[in-house]
């Protein structure tokens, strides 16, 4: 019997050129999620994507802090900030979605990380939870109850998106094989999965949807 995907959204997180092979912040094996996500899209009537969309002067970029290097942690307006390479800058090729990702049936795209003074891993809120993207209200207004999360990177933007989804009351699923981790530290992927599971995110594989198995 097929899984009931009524009132469900597929949420595609940051499948952008800079997070894929050859990109400024490439996630190992990131390209492997694209065929899976395209296949999953065929099972959903409601599909939303998020897009990292940074100004060039973003405070999370090591290059914007004299004497600092990628991987260092600084204080950015009261929050600890891991410093990243310059990535997903507005107007660059790196910010664009990968050409093999099929956007034909997307309902909306929500951009994040536009405020240079705070980082924004989640598709719902910035890291300080001072501003939101409007995604939560949008899903609620459309009657969405179940959110299925895919994309990049599992231990950062995907994780925080899934955690915020749960906090807003959505039944949230992580499609584990349709996401890949950065693994700045070797155990980050496993820690992220455990954190999401403990928060109430349901971990499934794509086969639960593609093979019509009820969970």
The sign of the torsion formed by the CA atoms of 61, 64, 69, 73 equals negative
Exactly one of 52, 88, 112, 119 is catalytic; which is it?
A: 112
| Exposed/middle/buried for residue 156 (C-beta within 10 Å: 0-12, 13-18, 19+) | buried
Of residues 136, 211, 201, 141, the one with CA closest to residue 166? 201
End-to-end CA distance of the chain: 10
Quick check: is 14 catalytic? yes
DSSP assignment of 97-129 equals BPTTS--TT--EEEEE---TTS---SSSB-TTS
Would residue 88 show up in a list of annotated catalytic residues for this protein?
no
Interatomic CA distance for residues 188 and 181, integer angstroms: 8
CA distance 163 to 74: 24
Choose among 134, 149, 141, 120: nearest CA to 55.
120
Among 54, 41, 174, smallest CA distance to 115 is for: 54
Paired tokens of 160:
């925080």
Clarify whether 197 is annotated catalytic.
no
Say which of 52, 157, 159, 180 is annotated catalytic. Answer: 157
Q: Which residues are catalytic?
A: 14, 112, 157
């Amino acid at each position: 019997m097929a899984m009931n995907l009524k009132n469900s959204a597929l949420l595609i997180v940051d499948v952008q050129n800079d997070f894929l092979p050859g990109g400024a912040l490439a996630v190992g094996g990131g390209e492997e999620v694209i065929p899976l996500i395209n296949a999953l899209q065929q099972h959903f009537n409601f599909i939303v994507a998020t897009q990292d969309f940074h100004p060039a002067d973003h405070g999370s970029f090591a290059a914007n802090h004299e004497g600092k290097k990628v991987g260092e942690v600084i204080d950015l307006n009261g929050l600890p900030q891991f410093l990243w390479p310059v990535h997903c800058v507005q107007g660059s090729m790196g910010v664009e979605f990968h050409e093999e990702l099929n956007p034909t049936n997307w309902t909306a795209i929500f951009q994040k990380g536009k405020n240079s003074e705070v980082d924004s891993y989640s598709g719902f809120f910035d890291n300080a939870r001072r501003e939101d993207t409007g995604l939560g209200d949008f899903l609620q207004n459309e009657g969405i109850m179940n959110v299925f999360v895919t994309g990049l990177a599992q231990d950062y933007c995907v994780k925080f998106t899934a955690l915020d989804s749960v906090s807003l009351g959505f039944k949230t699923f992580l499609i584990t094989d349709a996401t890949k981790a950065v693994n700045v530290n070797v155990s980050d992927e496993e820690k992220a999965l455990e954190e999401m599971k403990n928060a109430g995110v349901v971990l499934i594989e794509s086969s639960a949807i593609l093979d019509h198995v009820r969970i």
